[in-house]
Amino acid sequence: MIRRDQTAATGETLRALFYAALAAADPRQALERRMPTPVHGRTVLVGAGKASAAMARAFETAWSGPLEGLVLTRYGHAVPCDRVEIVEAGHPVPDVAGERAARRILALARSLGADDQFVFLASGGGSALLSLPAPRLTLDDKQAVTRALLRSGATITEINTVRKHLSAIKGGRLAAAAAPARVVTLAISDVPGDDPDVIASGPTVPDPTTFADARAVLARYRIDEPAAVLAHLAEEAQETPKPGDPIFSRAKFDLIASPQVSLQSAAAVAVQRQIVPIVLSDRIEGEARQVGLVHAGIALQVRAGKFRVGDRLVAPPAVLLSGGETTVTVTGKGQGGRNVEFLLALAMALDGADGISALACDTDGIDGTEDNAGAIVYPDSLTRAAARGISARVALADNNGYGFFAALGDLVVTGPTLTNVNDFRAVLVLD
């Protein structure tokens, strides 16, 4: 059993790494250096995502000229603004508030001329929030297919491929509505690889995917309803605008914060604490429990002094850092979350290995649909759970990572962080 003071020190170190990652994605710092130039006409500011309200506040603080607009964010993520209206809506399943706001954003885009500027603030969660169904589809149709996709284990790229082809505003359609105005997209990436067309489903950038790609995703995960969605995808009535389309001739995309920058910031803090950082990747995908097994294997290799980089063996203390977006194929009825699912699988694979602890959190402050960002696992987590009559194996089978870590008092609760560069994982290996 590890001592209480050791647990506290380990937890503090893991949290310090997480907070450094969050600070690197702070919209205020990111936007100050990336403001667009003024134009002779109107500047209209819109946005969608969990960070969009904080981004809007930072933008209007730095912008001295006339400004108007509307920004859409998740419930509980609003930040008061003076010149830009903030609307809260449902996430991850879209709702009526999001549909109404998306319709108004589309109308604002259509009101612009060649002398005007249309600034779109994109961040994680924007795709679900900016929900305006394509003609002959309803919000109910989009809600049903969204729920099915979220439970299927599909990646965010696959989910957004479908969303773009069920939408009247995503997949470059918003830029088409704003033409011939200048279009500037300022984005905080929450997706593996930072693909502009995947962030918030790319409302203002070209879309390389097709109706056929969307149909293939639904077929891959055996989603065969609603019938209206399948019929719409089969008709291929109006494809999204593609790379090379002249509507993007006055469009600019600027990535202002990303998972990699946040991982590098955490790595710098590790170095300050004389801990060797090992940045595995900022684009890890796959089932959360399988990713947990892989991280456990690497951590055990480091703990044994057998992890080699070039001609050097990396010895503890060291920390594995990774980002990206894992998925969970839901089979149980527990209170889930992909980060706590990752940690449960990791803990079981480590089986109480001495000196290895880990934190996994969603950088938006919400892991799944609960009130926690994630959790921390310690070498004695399984032992403490067993003493309370809690089985990690049963919890994992029921997708109940939240309940497991809540019972131990090891959830990480931050509230909405007002940014989002997706999952952050730190596996700390001490000597």
Residue 131 belongs to a domain with what CATH number? 3.40.50.10180
State whether 252 and 319 are in the same domain. Answer: no
Instruction: Find the domain containing 404 and state its range.
Output: 4-23+260-429
State whether 425 and 290 are in the same domain. Answer: yes
State whether 221 and 290 are in the same domain. Answer: no
pLDDT computed for residue 5 by the predictor: 64
- Burial call 274-311: b when 16+ CB within 10 Å, e when fewer: ebbbbbbebbbbebbbebbebbbebbbebbeeebeeee
pLDDT computed for residue 33 by the predictor: 82
State whether 162 and 274 are in the same domain. Answer: no
State whether 217 and 290 are in the same domain. Answer: no
Q: Of 257, 282, 312, at which residue does a domain stop?
A: 257
State whether 161 and 147 are in the same domain. Answer: yes
Handedness of CA 108, 110, 115, 120 (dihedral sign): positive
What CATH number does the domain containing 279 carry?
Answer: 3.40.1480.10
State whether 84 and 200 are in the same domain. Answer: yes
Q: Of 211, 230, 257, at which residue does a domain stop?
A: 257
385: its two tokens:
């759970």
State whether 17 and 58 are in the same domain. Answer: no
State whether 302 and 218 are in the same domain. Answer: no
State whether 405 and 337 are in the same domain. Answer: yes
pLDDT computed for residue 29 by the predictor: 86
pLDDT in single tens digits along all 431 residues of the chain? 455 567 889 999 999 999 999 999 999 888 888 899 999 999 999 999 999 999 999 999 999 999 999 999 999 999 999 999 999 999 999 999 999 999 999 999 999 999 999 999 999 999 999 999 999 999 999 999 999 999 898 989 999 999 999 999 999 999 999 999 999 999 999 988 899 999 999 999 999 999 999 999 999 999 999 999 999 999 998 999 999 999 999 999 999 999 999 999 999 999 999 999 999 999 999 999 999 999 999 999 999 999 999 999 999 999 999 999 998 988 888 887 999 999 999 999 999 999 999 999 999 999 977 899 999 999 999 999 999 999 999 999 999 999 999 999 999 999 999 999 989 999 999 98
Helix (H) or strand (E) holding 13: helix 4-24
C-alpha–C-alpha distance, residues 193 and 195, integer Å = 5
State whether 244 and 264 are in the same domain. Answer: no
Residue type, 409: G
pTM, full prediction: 0.88
State whether 267 and 132 are in the same domain. Answer: no
Number of structural domains in the chain:
2
